[in-house]
Chains A and B, each alone.
Chain A
Amino acid sequence: MSSPRRTLDTLPLHRRAQLEATATVDTQARLARLGIRLGAIIEATQRTPGGGRVVAVGDLRIALDRATARDLLVVELDAAAS
């Protein structure tokens, strides 16, 4: 079984994950401004042109580019449960 810890850009779509860390404090601060904290449950809902992701965090929908998605370390919850 692959490790449930991965960067967001490699998280399969529609799998829930917990945001564990960000590569930079700046990214963490930007997420916090949108109301997303470390520990938040997120789900990538679709890929975007250019390789980015749209993530659902509760009712929020946030678009990220590929580089930012690579900056987010998540723990896949569904994989951990299975």
Chain B
Amino acid sequence: MNPPPPSATQTGAPPSSPRQVPSCHEGGASLAPTGAPVIALAGTPNVGKSTLFNALTGARRTMGNWPGTTVEVGRGAWRPRTGTAYDLVDLPGAYSLDATSPDEELTRDLVVTDEAHRPDVVVLVADSAHLSRSLYLLSELRERAQRVIVALTMTDVASRRGIRVDPDRLAAAVGVPVVALDPRARRGLAALADAIERDLAAPHTAPRQLGPRHDGDPLARADERFAWIDACVDAAVDRQATARRSWSDRVDAVVMHRLAGPLVLMAVMWVVFQITTTVAAPLQDALDRWVSGPLTDGANTLLAGAPTLVHGLIVHGIIAGVGMLLTFVPLMALMFLLLALLEDSGYMARAAVVADRTMRAMGLPGRAFLPLIVGFGCNVPAIAATRVLTGARQRVLTALLVPFTSCSARLTVYVMLATTFFEEWAGTVVFAMYLLSILLIVGVGFALRRTLWRTMGTEPLLLDLPAYQRPTIRVMTSVTWMRLKGFLRTASGIVVATVCVVWLLQAVPVKGSAALGETAIEDSAYAAVAGTLAPAFAPAGFNQWEATGALVTGFVAKEAVISSWAQTYAVSDAEQGADTPLGQNIRRDFEASSGGHPVPAVLAFMAFLLAYTPCVATLAAQRREIGLRWAVFGVGMQLAVAWTLAVVVFQLGKLFW
């Protein structure tokens, strides 16, 4: 099995025509009436197409100061004040119609291949600060019978660099209308609408004729286009003498310095890590307290006379599941906000350069560093952060590696077991778990790279560094909201359903005479299921149902492992340490199940806990980012790695302890 080519949901596979483009953007833009003129936004990556799309439609769409952000086709209705409704299509970034990537293929197919359904007007979004690069696509479009309007963006960045593009002179040079606008500030949008209306009412502009030089030779043809571009730029651009080193260069000198650059990157990652863990924690706790306190109490009061099954499902299933989901909201919102900040400011491209060499060892680009670091805080936002990767195969590989990063929820279990079994060596054992986590990422990454991903070439680094810019609140908040909404929509079902199933297992009696919802846990279906799984862990030294039951609960959330033990052993206080009632019970069971080798057995348990599926929310995030098929593959792979690791640890460990 090889990783698939980018799927329709990942990159927007070409539909038959723009008029049939699926509405896969996430902001819920309404669609234009049937028969409305189709306006396609095209241009190189990172020129502001998605920002313009959002400004025109009011929809929320992926956007950011990062090449290749737009990897899907967005579609929405644009209703300018002129009264005409347009069907607006946001195409993936493309440098040329000679496609070399799935994104460019999609743009080429939508704009030129299907002539019967071509867009009525292509709005070529061009970066004023890098006009030459933006005009290659225009040169190709101008050779076809296609209505084109140039929308000049980034005029503020160009102006700071002493570059002024005259729209009228440029229009005369390129032969199509040119409108200067600022989609971030929503300036110039009405002028664009007017230009489109005028263009649609006028006859087609004649295609530009290539000179006699090319004779079918692609290099000669490209050269002729470049010559045309140079002539257009010379005609329309005024440059003032600027300082040789811009402030952007001065910042780059530090953030991409051979020694300081990695330190800056580590500092930035540390801040991200801190915010996604410590800053979010009080908010998560407050939401958790509200759900488990007032909300649950209120539900208990309202459902006082309801049947046990209904009461249990609502309070311990739905409310507990929604509560768990809610606790992720501050964490995810902060993560998405920070991602938007890093992307929109332009720093993300620099981080990719700094981390490139390290990540290249695993066959991943430098930007894969971010999700892997974030994973040590929480895997759920880390999976979401894989979207900074532009290649679908790289995104799948990284999303499969993230669960091996040891999240903070697992730390609570390590600490509890380490203080119970290893006392003064507890700190060293916990540190070893983090070391093992890094080894697993490198090892599994290496193995996947040489098997399923062996055909994925190592792409050389040739990265356009976008100009730094001040992040705008509007862009950041809209990106954050769009991503958060997408996460909640995808994750809510699977999280709530899993919590309900676990509650139901714990409530259904399979032994004794207790009623539904009132059975002791050892007589429940939960204990029966855990007991069925237990023999599989005999080679790892922990084949007691209490341990496997905790692992089942741990699939829902690792935070629940300790409380599951407390519930199993009927201990009211889950205080940690060797001499606590909980610690004594756990020691006794590990001693019994391991045949007198509790130390290697508990190390094996911790290794399994580290490597198997982190939690149902991570699974939901994986399903969203890489699809159900790869999420299921990931679960299988993690279980196989975790079981093998646990068996090796126990069998080797028992030679020494």
Give me the interface of A with B, judged by CB distance under 8 Å: 27, 29-35, 37, 45-52, 54, 56, 58-65, 67-68
Q: Is B462 within 8 A of A34, CB to CB? A: yes
Give which listed residue, B95, B129, B249, B461, contacts A33 with CB less than 8 A. B95
Report the Cα distance A67→B356, complex, angstroms: 12
Cβ contacts A to B, 5 pairs, < 8 Å: A29-B100, A35-B136, A49-B353, A60-B130, A61-B252
Please encode chain B, from 246 to 278, with 1 for each CB lying within 8 Å of some chain A CB and 0 for all others.
001100110011110110000000000000000
A-B contact count (CB 8 A): 95
Additional A-B contact list (18), CB under 8 Å, known A30-B462, A62-B465:
A31-B462, A32-B222, A47-B258, A48-B354, A48-B356, A49-B256, A49-B261, A49-B353, A50-B357, A54-B465, A56-B249, A59-B129, A59-B161, A59-B163, A62-B464, A63-B353, A64-B462, A65-B462
Q: Is the interface of A mostly helix, strand, loop or mixed?
A: mixed
B463, CB-defined interface residue at 8 Å? yes
Q: Is B133 within 8 A of A52, CB to CB? A: no
Interface size class of B (residues with CB under 8 A): 35 or more
Write the nearest CB–CB distance from B465 to chain A, whole angstroms.
4
Given contacts A63-B463, A68-B460, contact A33 B357 (CB under 8 A): no
Q: Is A45 within 8 A of B356, CB to CB? A: no
A29, A35, A51 pick with most chain B CB within 10 angstroms: A35
Report the Cα distance A32→B353, complex, angstroms: 20
Q: Is A34 within 8 A of B464, CB to CB? A: yes
Measured between beta carbons, the chain A residues less than 8 angstroms from B226 are 32, 37
Give me the interface of B with A, judged by CB distance under 8 Å: 95-96, 100, 129-130, 132-133, 136, 161, 163, 222-223, 226, 245, 248-249, 252-253, 256-259, 261-262, 349, 353-354, 356-357, 360, 460-465
Report the Cα distance A68→B258, complex, angstroms: 18
Measured between beta carbons, the chain A residues less than 8 angstroms from B100 are 29, 33
Measured between beta carbons, the chain A residues less than 8 angstroms from B256 are 46, 48-49, 54, 63
Write the nearest CB–CB distance from B316 to chain A, whole angstroms.
51
Write the nearest CB–CB distance from B443 to chain A, whole angstroms.
23
B222, B261, B463 pick with most chain A CB within 10 angstroms: B463
Closest to B466 in A: A61
Closest to B262 in A: A49
Q: Is B257 within 8 A of A60, CB to CB? A: no
